[in-house]
Structure 1
Amino acid sequence: MPLDALRPNSLVDQATQRLREEIASGTWAVGTRLPGETALARTLGVGRSTVREALRALAGAGLVQARQGAGVFVTATTPQEDWPTRLRQSAITDVYEVRAMLEVEAAQLAARRRTPDDVTALNDALERRRQAATGTNAEFVDADIDLHAAVVAAAHNPVLTALFTEFLPSLREGLIDLLKLAGLRTADPHHGEVAHAALVEAVVRGDAEAAGDILRTELEQTLARLKAV
């Protein structure tokens, strides 16, 4: 399929899409060197800067790779999904299962590594969660997530913290929906208060086994509710 000249609007997006289509269709197979910027610009009817931006976008999607002194080569025919995109597109129950595995380990590490500052942060987060019981579901979920984030932070593992942060948008949306659909706070505005207080107490006293068990039970119960709605 021959390339056609592009219209002047949204040139970078159009150039990116056109080149992506050519790669996906097999015009340029994996391992093939793309024509140079000048040739692509002439064919597409755009400037070299537009082609350069389009190639940068394709590289970000994992479709091409620039090799110093050799040119730009096709490395894949389908774009790679970044982690946040994959999480947004995943079922909340799948996300929650992985969250549970990460957080239980984080709670156990937190019990072993918590500092005086962590203890203060945990108690403050627990109090904010209690106060949020009088607020909206969104405010309650935000306070709940802040408490869990404080537990993860107390583990002092930057990889765990980064992974948990990636989960937050999907978790927040799923938990707000759960509270609304299941009506968990209708009869009990302080839903989960006892378990969360026990979790903080276990971390503060350094009981890693109890912290892991409490959080595992709490997350498994929430996961069961998610699967039921």
Structure 2
Amino acid sequence: MVLRAAGRQSLVDTVVAQLRDQLADGEWKVGERIPTEHALAEQLEVGRNTVREAVRVLVHAGMLRSRQGEGTFVVSASDAGEVMRSVQRAGVRDVLELRIALETEAARLAAARRQPADIARMREALETLGTHVDGEQRPRAGQYELFAEQDTAFHVALVESAHNVALSATYRWLSGSVRDALLTSLRETRRPSLRDEQTLPLAPRDHAAVLEAIEAGDPERAERAMRAVLEEPRRVVDELLDGGPAA
């Protein structure tokens, strides 16, 4: 596939985008050397400095790697930054399904690896969360944002109790989307057709079961409890998006 000639506006960005597309399309395989700066400059009809800057961007993104005296080689066909931006643009249901995958594993690992400080941090977050619910464990009207902030703090603390650097970094990055998705769910459940106990998402008493299982050092019970916490909001979201009760 021949590279298209770049336009004259935002040349570096244009070249970065074209090279990224070529990598995603498999123009050069992982481990393969890409053409020289001179060859790319001729194909794209831009200067070598522009190509050099574009390659640097992709090296920084982790897609390319330069080896002195050998050339530039493909490391990955996907841009991790673009992947993360795609997650940020994902819908509520997609984010929730990703949460279920991450948090059930995090709960299992936390039960095996938790430290006293982890338990204390989760308990504190859970106690604060409880101040934002009424006697029926429903988030208080007008306190949805506070509830969402503290709920997210509990889940971040839980994930970090797994003591897995990659998992913690991923979840911390995702936490903003987690909070926004929760707020959407809370606001939507104000609809008359959804106001009942069965559609209440994320009650603190459900979180307590997760904390108890983690503190007891029971990975299987912790994983089940975490799945139960997130399964109810998943059902609510399915109902909201599909226009009827989830199967």
How would you bin the TM-score normalised by the shorter chain? 0.7 to 0.9
Alpha-carbon displacement from aligned partner over 1:186-215 (angstroms, at most 9, x marks no partner) = 788996021123322333343444433322
Specify the alignment match of 1:194 in structure 2.
205
Question: What amino acid does structure 2 have at the position aligned with 1:228?
Answer: E
In the alignment, structure 1 segments of 5+ residues that lack a partner are none
Compute the displacement of 1:10 (Å). Answer: 3.2
Query: Which of residues 138, 145, 155 is equivalent to 1:138?
Result: 145
Query: Which residue number in structure 2 is paired with residue 80 of structure 1?
Result: 78
* 1:79-114 Cα shifts (integer Å, max 9, x gaps): 624241342344433442342233223223323332
| CA distance in structure 1 between the partners assigned to 2:6 and 2:226 by the alignment | 59
- Is this contact kept in 2: 1:41–1:51, CA < 8 A? no
Check if 1:214 corresponds to 2:225.
yes
Q: What is the CA deviation profile of residues 121-142 of structure 1, one whole-angstrom value per residue up to 9, with x for unaligned ones?
A: 1111112212344554233212
Distance in 2, Cα, partners of 1:186 & 1:75: 51
* Structure 2 counterparts to residues 32-181 of structure 1, below 5 A: 33-37=34-38, 40=41, 44=45, 46=47, 48-59=48-59, 66-72=66-72, 80-82=78-80, 83-133=83-133, 136-181=143-188
CA–CA separation in structure 1 for the residues paired with 2:167 and 2:20: 35
**Which amino acid is the alignment partner of residue 183 of structure 2?**
I
AA paired with 1:108? Answer: R
Q: For 1:32 and 1:87, how far apart are their aligned partners in 2?
A: 30
Going from structure 1 to structure 2, the CA distance change for 1:182 and 1:68 (only over 3 Å counts) comes to: same
C-alpha distance 129-36 of structure 1, shift in aligned 2 (>3 A): same
Q: Is the 8 A contact 1:93 1:227 kept in 2?
A: yes
Identity of aligned residues (%): 32
Match of 1:10 in 2: 10
Whether the aligned pair in 1 keeps the contact of 2:202 and 2:230 (CA below 8 Å) is: no
Q: Please, what is the CA RMSD of the aligned residues? A: 4.0
TM-score (norm 1): 0.72
Q: Are the structure 2 counterparts of residues 44 and 223 from structure 1 closer, same or farther at C-alpha, using a change threshold of 3 Å?
A: same
Question: How many residue pairs end up in the alignment?
Answer: 222
Matched-pair contact (CA < 8 Å) for 2:114–2:161: yes
Q: Shift of the alpha carbon at 1:71?
A: 3.4
Between 162-171 and 215-224, the greater mean CA deviation after superposition: 162-171
Matches of 1:43 and 1:201, distance apart in 2? 60
Q: 1:70 to 1:128 in 2, by over 3 A?
A: same
| Partner amino acid, structure 1, of 2:123 | N
Mark the runs of 5 or more structure 2 residues left unpaired by the alignment: 134-139, 241-247
Max radius of gyration: which structure?
1
Asked if the contact 2:122–2:158 (Cα under 8 Å) also holds between the matched residues in 1, the reply is yes
Q: Distance in 1 between matches of 2:202 and 2:5?
A: 60
By how many angstroms is 1:45 displaced? 5.3
Q: Cα 1:228–1:203, aligned 2, differ >3 Å: closer, same or farther?
A: same
Matched position secondary structure for 2:131: helix
When you count helix as a share of all residues, which structure comes out higher?
1
Q: Return the offset for 1:42.
A: 11
Paired AA for residue 220 in structure 1? E
**Pair 14,213 (structure 1): closer, same or farther in 2 beyond 3 Å:** closer
